[in-house]
Structure 1
């Protein structure tokens, strides 16, 4: 099972979309406080649709609290500051992929300890960043692809007709 970590997320709609992506991929969602919204927020719940009961979610008071409860975890840091892209690394199914808050990303003092596992999504130089929920989907699905989409339904079915 993959693990998505959001460090101090600010926008409920992004967190809701990410929660939905985690639910449909059976990835765990780890939320590091402070959160920029209430977990009861209607926009958060709406973006996650009716998948909340499928979600494995964990809450932490700080990054250090997260580390203390996930000892030995291999953590990839998704950042615009990395020298390697998200396709340059090999993901395992129990890895953690952390994303920073929308306004500032992952603090540089954290990134310093993760030089070898920091990854970025290539973009034009004159642009700042992608939407957080899009970034999560891009990197998570690459990690799942590398692991042959383990455990995921890979064959779609028509509802009314047959292929």
Structure 2
């Protein structure tokens, strides 16, 4: 992050940057977004490991900077619901090669789904109890006056 800050300061005065410097700036901006957490509600260490791993491995390079926090929130929700990655990291205190391989596949699949979602929430009807096409009936509430 120190390199990012230094390059960011340099970029203010430089008119043209090479592709590598631009890529480093955009990745640094994404990492800065990833490090933002809700006040008084820090993420558990295992969730931070997943987020920072995804950012430093370049998995967020195609995600618009403005969508990074939403991406992180939805990725962590997906990992919590569908894998044992977080419990594996929490119990061992390490990111083993096996867990990292599972994490890489999970994140890659999620990134492609996220990019196809065109800015909509990624929770599908199948994640709701009953799944699939669900008919929702509406009821009308009628207030009656007391006699």
Instruction: Identify the structure with the greater strand proportion.
Output: 1
TM-score (norm 1): 0.23
Structure number with larger C-alpha Rg: 2
TM-score (norm 2): 0.24
Instruction: Identify the structure with the greater helix proportion.
Output: 2
